[in-house]
Amino acid sequence: MNQDTLYQDIAGRCEGDIYLGVVGPVRTGKSTFIKRFMEL
């Protein structure tokens, strides 16, 4: 299963809504990760 198929499968199960939770200690680059993920 490639990445595109995975996201389509998740979107199909969730009626198009995908929620991503990012947790971890402060100063680990979470906000940078979220910014880059949203640019995809």
pLDDT digits (tens, 9 = 90+) for 9-21: 877 887 777 777 7
Q: Rounded to an integer, what distance in angstroms lies between the CA atom of residue 11 and that of residue 7? A: 6
22, 33 in Cβ contact below 8 A?
A: yes
Identify the pLDDT of residue 30.
75
Identify the pLDDT of residue 34.
77
Identify the pLDDT of residue 3.
72
Query: What is the rounded average pLDDT of the residues 22-38?
Result: 76
pTM (2 d.p.): 0.34
Q: Rounded to an integer, what distance in angstroms lies between the CA atom of residue 36 and that of residue 22? A: 13
